[in-house]
Amino acid sequence: MSIDYRLKLLESMEKMRDWLHPSISKISKYGYYYPSACEIFSCAQGEELGHLEFLSQNQYLDRQFFDKVHICPRCLSYQLNFREICPSCHSSNLLLTKQLHHYSCGYVAPETKFRQGLEFKCPKCHEVLRHIGIDYSEPSEVFLCYHCDATSPDSDISCLCFNCENIFDVSCAIKQTLYSYKINVKGVEALERGLVKENVQQFIEIDFPLYNHAMFKEFSQHYFKESKRYGASLQLIQITLENWQEFIDINGVEEGRQLFHDLIIVIKESLRDTDIIGLLDEERVGILLPDTPFTCIDIILDKFHDTINQLNINNRLSINFSCSSYSKEMSQPEELFKQVNQEKTYHFLTNES
Ligand SMILES: [Zn+2]
Ligand SMILES: [Zn+2]
Ligand SMILES: [Zn+2]
């Protein structure tokens, strides 16, 4: 990523002297994009968000809340259909209906079970119900499932992703916060200097999108503070390669390096632009997922498995994933780094056949 474009963006924001708000976009995966920024980076709509966040995380831009978008944890698309589903059979063929309580026989059932033409007739004792308050009452509303006939006071909410057809519980949806941005004093200074400071060295290698440990730590501090301030969820995934030394011994350093690059790139491609992937330390890769509920981690790990499998790694490579969540009892991000090391690991072996 060329730093010049970030300066260009700062320049246009300085001229604007106002908040840059997102506009609705049907083709952006977040459902929003920032037209002027998108034009400067000549990227797909929505991809400019990563650059805006980078400038904000490095304190060149101030930001304020604009909107929250639910996105699919698998493909990151905003095109979700939220449906009420039956807690027993998961069908979405549900009806919210009144319940009737027939006083004389005590029978309680959804209204539809009583209805016969224009009348209400009790399915248990076959008496006709005439007067509400005298013959019967309407104590509550329930969900009636047309598929399995179960009634329940509450429904579950499920999401169907129109983009990848994934079906998941609403608690697994990732909430992407969208902000409005405005240049601040530090941003104006950078513009006058003609330099965005972090161009010194932010990745472990030039043009390879893995943040070095110092940058990763900085991002962790930023998101950790945000979670402390706003109570937003934050997940950290750790990736370690168990038999890496053995792999290098057999296949050589160059092949190992290439494989590591491919691995990071496919993982990076399955993340949002605002997720951060970098070095936790010499041996561990970390991924920070802001605004991400713990419930969607399984879906994210499944997605990693799928993308890594597509790499067709011909040798056995043992990859371990573990995850820990920010909790308000933690006082600094290092606790998150430490905890993730003690969590249960999900083991993944390539070329298992
Ligand atoms: Zn009855
Ligand atoms: Zn059902
Ligand atoms: Zn999807």
Model confidence pLDDT, tens digit, residues 64-79: 999 999 999 999 899 9
To the question of pTM greater than 0.85 for the whole model, the response is: no
Confidence of residue 131 (pLDDT cuts 50, 70, 90): very high
Residue 92 CA to ligand 2 center (angstroms) comes to: 8
Residues recorded for the chain: 353
Q: Give the single-character DSSP code of 59.
A: T
Structure tokens belonging to residue 318: 């043992």
Question: What is the residue extent of each domain of the chain?
Answer: 1-73+173-198, 87-154, 201-353
Q: Nearest ligand, CA of residue 72?
A: 3
For the residues 345-349, what does the mean pLDDT come to? 82
Residue 309 CA to ligand 3 center (angstroms) comes to: 19
Euclidean distance between CA atoms 269 and 308, whole angstroms: 11
Answer yes or no: is pLDDT of 317 > 60: yes
- Please, which residues have CB within 8 angstroms of residue 335's CB and are 6 or more apart in sequence? none
DSSP E strands: which ranges in 72-197? 80-85, 94-102, 108-110, 115-116, 119-121, 128-129, 136-137, 141-145, 151-152, 156-161, 167-169, 174-183
Provide the greatest CA pair distance for the chain.
87
Neighbours of ion ligand 1 (CB under 5 A): 102, 105, 107, 122, 124-125
Enumerate the β-bridge partners of residue 169: 158
**Quick check: 19 and 181 in contact, CB under 8 A?**
yes
Q: How high is the pLDDT of residue 201?
A: 63
**Nearest Cα residue to 294 out of 178, 127, 172, 140:** 172
Structure tokens belonging to residue 86: 């039956």
Residue 157 CA to ligand 2 center (angstroms) comes to: 13
What CATH architecture does domain 201-353 belong to?
2-Layer Sandwich (3.30)
Burial classification of residue 1, based on how many CB atoms lie within 10 Å of its CB (0-12 exposed, 13-18 middle, 19 or more buried): middle
Q: How high is the pLDDT of residue 330?
A: 93
Residue 328 CA to ligand 2 center (angstroms) comes to: 38
- Please, which residues have CB within 8 angstroms of residue 254's CB and are 6 or more apart in sequence? none
Structure tokens belonging to residue 153: 């006071």
Residue 69 CA to ligand 2 center (angstroms) comes to: 29
Tell me if the domain spanning 1-73+173-198 has CATH number 3.10.590.
Answer: no
Euclidean distance between CA atoms 189 and 195, whole angstroms: 9
| Type of residue numbered 111 | E
Residue 94 CA to ligand 2 center (angstroms) comes to: 8
> 47-51, 139-143, 190-194: which has the minimum mean pLDDT?
190-194
